[in-house]
Amino acid sequence: MSSENFSVTEHAVPGCHIREYPGSTVHQEDILNLHVKQYTPKNQAEPVPADAITIIAAHGAALPKELYEPLWDELLNQATGFHIRSIWVADCASMNTSGVLNEDKLSMDCSWMDHARDLFLMINHFRDQMPRPLVGIGHSMGGNIITNLAFLHPRLFTTILLVDPVIQLSPPAMGFGTDPPGAPNYTLRRSDVWPSREAAVQANRKFMHGWDPRCVELMAEYGFRELPTRLYPDVEAVKAKFGTTTNNTTPVTLTTTKHQDLLGQIRQNFSARNPTTGVIEIPRDTHADLDPAAAFIPLYRPEPRSTFFRLPTLRPSCLWVVGGSTYLNLDEMRLAIQRCGTGVGGSGGLSEGRVKEVTLPGLGHLMPFQEVKAVVDPCAAWLREEMDRFRRVEREWEEAQKGKSHLVVEENWYKVLKPVNARRGKGGPSAKLS
């Protein structure tokens, strides 16, 4: 387990000021905090190599950050050709341990964009421990978040690795119209309190079917929390419900409440249609990110679609690890991969070897917890290639900087910018751009 391979340091840091949606917090000036874990390899070389990687990771919706520890163990095991300085993972402000820290301040809205900004502030806060190169790794919702962090600061990451990221055009299945019920339907109506931790694990065995035993154990520890909580303050009432008042066991609930889990998956659009006229009128103060073409649907999730359209501008190289049996739309994901990095400001995309797809046949969306090694294998191979390239580019840059002045501009400026008294076309010299 990770505690054998890594020294684990816990931090609490404030999130970004002003959330994407006013309804994310009880009061708009509330300060939300992130619970962060920093994993530092115990077998790290001394001194730490200058090119050792700092990994910034982002989890899936309501999936505890600790579930990914077997992934870090396997990545460390395969770290030949590159070194790991540390791995940093923060729970989203409304989820997991962060959600526990913030439970008195959270309200009924959630934007994925907030966590991208929160991670950027976290990186800036710990910048002295995060020299380049930085690598982003994100799963599911976290893949979308890491991508948006790369949009926020295009040169921040040397490369990013997206594991079945939620970046697509179609909304998730939610039982609207002819759609079959999906994860949001299940989440809203699921049980969320049990007489004991053991009972909770047993009740959720179907969800964890096929998981690596290490991940099951971590889910049992971090996916549930003991009562009392703000949602379930009366322990004795819950015990009476289950008839366990004489037992020594303590009831548990979900660490991420099912309500915050639901809000992380999908967003409400209940007020766009005028109840009197029936006309769609987008409330832009709260729902400016709502696509007018889909405004008739009462639920939506803006980030997968908006991120899809921005993919051509993605600067860092990008590995897509895709589940062959994922519930996501594979055709749309592959279209996203084809677009990735191909535009102005982008990496160059597939044609320049800066984007790659690896599909793992038979694996679903939760593959990081099912087949740990199968997911890590392409990630480790990609990091070896990217770190070789990073070292080469760094050497070339250092060589090119030799002898250059840091005080005055180079001679080429004088060759390109003519003197102000040089003959120009009619109208004389043009004005300053600024």
48-71 pLDDT, tens digit each: 999 999 999 999 999 999 999 999
Specify the amino acid at residue 59.
H
Q: The pTM is what?
A: 0.94
- At 87, list the tokens: 């791995």
Residue 212 known to be catalytic: no
CATH number of 2-173+305-394, picked from 3.40.50.2300, 3.30.420.40, 3.40.50.1820, 2.40.50.140: 3.40.50.1820
Specify the amino acid at residue 131.
P
Residue of 24, 86, 94, 140 marked active site: 140
- At 107, list the tokens: 């309200």
Residue 98 known to be catalytic: no
- At 394, list the tokens: 């760094």
Q: Where in the chain is the domain with CATH 3.40.50.1820?
A: 2-173+305-394
Q: Can you give the pLDDT at residue 45?
A: 87
Between the two ends of the chain, the Cα-to-Cα distance in Å is 57
The tokens 């820290």 sit on which residue? Answer: 101
- At 103, list the tokens: 């439970």
Nearest to 158 by CA among 259, 246, 54: 54
Model confidence at 396: pLDDT above 70: yes
Residue 164 known to be catalytic: yes
Tell me the backbone φ, ψ of residue 111, rounded to 5 degrees: -120, 135
The tokens 């004795």 sit on which residue? Answer: 236
Residue of 114, 164, 212, 289 marked active site: 164
Q: Is the dihedral of CA 142, 143, 146, 147 positive or negative?
A: negative
The band of 178, judged by pLDDT with boundaries at 50, 70 and 90, is low
> Distance between CA atoms of 177 and 230, rounded to whole angstroms?
35
Q: Can you give the pLDDT at residue 171?
A: 80
190-249 pLDDT, tens digit each: 999 999 999 999 999 999 999 999 999 999 999 999 999 999 999 999 999 999 877 889
Buried b / exposed e over 283-315, threshold 16 CB at 10 Å, is: eeeebebbeeeebebebbbbbbbbbbebbbbbb
203-218 pLDDT, tens digit each: 999 999 999 999 999 9
Q: Can you give the pLDDT at residue 245?
A: 79
Model confidence at 433: pLDDT above 70: no
Model confidence at 372: pLDDT above 60: yes
Residues contacting residue 195 through CB under 8 Å, at least 6 positions apart: 238, 239, 242, 244, 247, 249, 251
